[in-house]
Amino acid sequence: MKRLRFQEVLTNIDGKSVQGTAPTYIRHVVDHPIDVKADQTLLFDRFRRVRAWRLNPYDGCVIVTEDPNAWSKVRSHHMVVRVKDVEEAYRNFVRYYRALFSIPVIAITGTCGKTTTKEMVAHILSQKYQVQATLRSKNASDFNLDYLLGIDDDTNVAVFETGVAKKGDLLDSCLFFRPTIGVITNIGIDHLNAFASHDEYIQAKGEMLPGLGYAGTLLLNTDDPNIKKIDFTPFHGKLLTFGLGDGADFQATHVRTENRGMAFTLRYQHMNHHLFVPGYGQHSVYNALAAIATAYMLGLGIEEAGERLRSFQYLPGHVNVLSGINGSVVIDDSWSSNPTSMRAALKVLDDLAEGRKKIAVLGRMASLGEFADEQYAQISQQLVEQNVDVLITRGSIAKDFAKHALRLGMKEQNVYRCYEIVDIEHLLHGLMDENTIVLVKSSMMDLEIKNLVKNITHRL
C-alpha cells in the first residue's frame, strides 16, 4: 500500500476529527476490527463492530464511524473520525486511492478459465513489469480492498479476476479496480441458484460494460454464443475478439495436442505465429489466446508473449496431468466443477486416453438450482458418448450422474455410487494400471477429494 497523508485522506472521505491526535500518515486500511494488526491503521467501522481492545496494542490508529458513541470505547491515543455515512466514506476512499495510480488495470471474468487466464497474463507480464494480481481463485468481493491496496508506486500493471456469484458482483469489483481493459472468457452454466434465469446470469457478466465506463478496451471470446446475447451497442471503446472461428481478431488455427500441451497457429493482422501452451484441451488454447491478446495490448509482441507462456505452470487442481499409481495417468481437475468445465475436462480425458481404459471420478456440480437435473443428464450423455469405461460418483448429489448414465445405457457393473473417499480409493487401487487414465473432477468444497488425488498419484 502507498503511504498516505492523513489530512488528505480526511478531506477525501469528508470526515471530522472528534477525538485523539492525528497521525501524520496512514500505512494500512481495513474495514473490520479483526484486521487491525499494525500501527497507523485506518479502520472503516462498516459493520458496527468497534472492539477497542483490538486496537489497544497499536499506536496512531484511526476509526471512521457514524456511531456517536464510538469515541467512548476507544483510548485517547487513537483518533476517531465522524462521518455522516460510513459506507459513502468507504467508497470515497476507494475512489480516492484508485485515482492515485494511472496504470493499466485488467478485469477478467467468465464462467470458466478466468483464473487460468489471469494467471497467464500475470506470468507473461511479470517478466517486464511489477504486477499486482488476485491470489489464485480468491475473487470474492471481501478481498477487493486488499487487492486494491496492493497497488503502490512500484506497480506497473494490475490484473484482477472478477467473479459473479450474484447480480452486481462484477460491477462492484469494477468500482474498486476501475479497469481499463476487460476480458470475458466465456459464459456457461454456473451460480444459477442466485439468478432467476440463465439470461439474468448472462447479463450479470455483461456488467463488464458499465464496469469499464463503456470505454477502454474489451476482449471477447467470439465463439461463445452466450456472449453474443449481450448488447454491446452502448460500448464506445475498442472491442477485440479471440477464438477459433473466422472473423476473430486473434484467431487460433491448426490446433493439435502435443506432448505436455497444445500447439496452435495464432493469426493476427494477416501474420501467423506458431505457439504452444503447456496445458491440454481446446479450452487451454482459448485461455492462451485471451492472455496473449491482453499482453499484446500492453505492448508485448505476440512472439515474446508466446515464448513467455511456454514456462507457465497451472495452479493445482486445474487440469493437471499427473503420474498415477501402478503406471496409470491421472487428470486432476478437482478445484471446481460446473457444466462448462466438466465438459472440457471430459474432452481432455477422451483426447489423452489413446486406447487406455477411461475412469471418471465425479463429485457434484455446484450452484445449479432448478437447472441441476437437466445439466447432470447432459453431462451423463457425454460420458456415454465418449465411452467412459468406469464411472465413480462421490456423494449424494453426484449420484445423479450414475442415474442418468445407467438410463442412457452404461452397464451397472461399471457404475459405482460412493459416499466415502476411502471406498473410492479402494476401488481405484484395484482398477488403476498402466492401461488406465483417471479424471478426478469435483467442487472446491470437497477437501477430501484433494487427499484422494495425493494418494493415487506420484509427485514428480
Q: CATH number, domain at 189? A: 3.40.1190.10
User: Sorting pLDDT into bands at 50, 70 and 90, what band is 119?
Assistant: very high
Asked if 344 and 441 sit in the same domain, the reply is: yes
Share of the chain above pLDDT 90, in %: 75
Asked if 218 and 90 sit in the same domain, the reply is: no
Q: When comparing pLDDT for 304 and 365, which is higher?
A: 304
Domain-located, residue 44: yes
The answer, yes or no, to whether residue 75 has pLDDT greater than 80, is no
Asked if 255 and 222 sit in the same domain, the reply is: yes
Look up residue 131 and give its three cell numbers: 504486477
- Write out pLDDT tens, residues 220-247: 999 999 999 999 999 999 999 999 999 9
Name the domain count of the chain: 3
pLDDT at 58: 87
CA 142, CA 200: separation in Å to the nearest integer? 23
CA 115, CA 106: separation in Å to the nearest integer? 13
- Write out pLDDT tens, residues 272-309: 999 999 999 999 999 999 999 999 999 999 999 999 99
Q: CATH number, domain at 80? A: 3.40.1390
Average pLDDT over residues 446-457: 88
Largest CA distance in the chain: 76
User: Sorting pLDDT into bands at 50, 70 and 90, what band is 22?
Assistant: confident
- Write out pLDDT tens, residues 395-409: 888 889 999 999 999
The answer, yes or no, to whether residue 18 has pLDDT greater than 90, is no
Domain-located, residue 424: yes
Asked if 285 and 325 sit in the same domain, the reply is: no
Asked if 8 and 41 sit in the same domain, the reply is: yes
Asked if 426 and 377 sit in the same domain, the reply is: yes
pLDDT at 220: 97
pLDDT at 49: 67
User: Sorting pLDDT into bands at 50, 70 and 90, what band is 33?
Assistant: confident
pLDDT at 349: 97
Asked if 68 and 105 sit in the same domain, the reply is: no
Asked if 291 and 145 sit in the same domain, the reply is: yes
The answer, yes or no, to whether residue 52 has pLDDT greater than 80, is no
CA 340, CA 12: separation in Å to the nearest integer? 44
Mean pLDDT of the chain: 92
Q: Which residues contact 136 (CB under 8 A, 6 or more apart)?
A: 115, 315
- Looking at 309, 336, 361, the residue that finishes a domain is 309
User: Sorting pLDDT into bands at 50, 70 and 90, what band is 460?
Assistant: very low
Q: CATH number, domain at 326? A: 3.90.190.20
Domain-located, residue 52: yes
Asked if 246 and 123 sit in the same domain, the reply is: yes
What angle separates helix 447-455 from helix 421-431, to the nearest 10 degrees? 30
Domain hosting 429: range is: 320-458
CA 75, CA 86: separation in Å to the nearest integer? 21
Domain-located, residue 402: yes
Domain-located, residue 71: yes
Asked if 179 and 274 sit in the same domain, the reply is: yes
The answer, yes or no, to whether residue 59 has pLDDT greater than 90, is no
pLDDT at 133: 95
Domain-located, residue 315: no
Average pLDDT over residues 156-176: 91
Q: Which residues contact 113 (CB under 8 A, 6 or more apart)?
A: 185, 186, 283, 286, 287, 290
User: pTM, whole model, 2 decimals?
Assistant: 0.91
Tell me the H-state helices in 250-301. Answer: 282-297
Asked if 449 and 325 sit in the same domain, the reply is: yes
Q: Which residues contact 302 (CB under 8 A, 6 or more apart)?
A: 266, 268, 271, 273, 275, 292, 296
Asked if 282 and 161 sit in the same domain, the reply is: yes
Domain-located, residue 236: yes
Strands of 261-268's sheet, edge to edge?
131-133, 157-161, 105-109, 181-184, 217-221, 238-243, 250-258, 261-268, 271-277
